[in-house]
């Protein structure tokens, strides 16, 4: 397995400043918007997190940038936002209230409806988490099945923001262009997201759904 030092191309005795400098350079090249891949982007972020946690354990004076706080500006420069903030809404609420998935006022309407915390709310996605992993860490039971890009059981509708889409996935281009993404292997690429989860019951996703199995939720 490649060590975080190799990923960032720094010596094992590199100080915080050198690690941070290497990270900022490396993450810029790895960013999917700059010609890198999602996998590479996550690998670099994970490496930086590991080295930062090492510093936190062994060096109280370490004042490096939290990996959760580093992203790229539109110009491709490294900068420092927080973890991605996600506002989510359960598709079942849309059906129950007779709303439309592409309604621009959807999340405002949800804010004024009497929805439970599982149906509408907010969560944080850490840099090395997929959207589904973050939802689960936050205690939510969003649908999934294969967890590997081979079905649409975990599908979400992206109302705002950017969520990565790995190359090896089942989602057809036309549905991806309309905003459908997979939460099990989708990683946020923006500071904020608004997503509708549980959209697997949409008719256009019917053919992509796996039947219930031992690892299927909902």
- Site for ligand FES, rule CB under 6 A: 144-147, 149-151, 153-154, 182, 184
Which is closer to ligand FES, CB of 106 or CB of 154? 154
- Taking the complex as a whole, the smallest distance from the CB of residue 183 to ligand FES amounts, in Å, to 7
> Measured between alpha carbons, how far is 14 from 10 in angstroms, rounded to an integer?
6
Which is closer to ligand FES, CB of 135 or CB of 154? 154
Which is closer to ligand FES, CB of 67 or CB of 149? 149
- Taking the complex as a whole, the smallest distance from the CB of residue 172 to ligand FES amounts, in Å, to 13
Distance from CA of residue 20 to its chain's centroid?
23
Considering only CA atoms, which of 48, 57, 53, 43 is closest in space to residue 20?
Answer: 48
Considering only CA atoms, which of 86, 96, 93, 124 is closest in space to residue 110?
Answer: 93
* SS3 (DSSP) at 5: helix
> Measured between alpha carbons, how far is 210 from 70 in angstroms, rounded to an integer?
36
- Taking the complex as a whole, the smallest distance from the CB of residue 158 to ligand FES amounts, in Å, to 15
Tokens of 19: 């690690």
Which is closer to ligand FES, CB of 8 or CB of 146? 146
Distance from CA of residue 14 to its chain's centroid?
30
- Taking the complex as a whole, the smallest distance from the CB of residue 180 to ligand FES amounts, in Å, to 11
Which runs of E-coded beta strand occur in 58-200? 71-72, 78-79, 84-90, 120-125, 155-160, 180-182, 192-197
Which is closer to ligand FES, CB of 21 or CB of 147? 147
- Taking the complex as a whole, the smallest distance from the CB of residue 216 to ligand FES amounts, in Å, to 8
C-beta separation of 133 from 124 below 8 A: no
């Amino acid at each position: 397995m490649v060590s975080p030092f190799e990923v960032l191309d720094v010596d094992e005795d590199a100080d915080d400043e050198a690690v941070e400098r290497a990270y900022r350079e490396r993450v810029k090249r790895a960013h999917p918007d700059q010609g890198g891949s999602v996998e590479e982007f996550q690998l670099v972020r994970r490496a930086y997190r590991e080295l930062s946690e090492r510093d936190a354990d062994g060096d109280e004076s370490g004042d490096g940038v939290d990996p959760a706080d580093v992203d790229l500006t539109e110009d491709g420069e490294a900068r420092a936002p927080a973890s991605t903030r996600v506002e989510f809404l359960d598709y079942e609420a849309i059906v129950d209230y007779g709303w439309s998935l592409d309604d621009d006022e959807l999340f405002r309407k949800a804010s004024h409806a009497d929805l439970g915390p599982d149906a509408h709310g907010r969560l944080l996605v850490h840099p090395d988490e997929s959207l589904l992993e973050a939802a689960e860490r936050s205690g939510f039971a969003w649908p999934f099945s294969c967890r590997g890009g081979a079905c649409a059981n975990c599908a979400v509708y992206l109302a705002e923001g950017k969520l990565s889409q790995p190359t090896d996935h089942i989602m057809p281009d036309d549905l991806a262009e309309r905003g459908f993404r997979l939460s099990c292997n989708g990683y946020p690429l923006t500071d904020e997201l608004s997503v509708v989860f549980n959209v697997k019951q949409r008719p256009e996703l019917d053919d992509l759904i796996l039947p219930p199995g031992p690892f299927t939720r909902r």
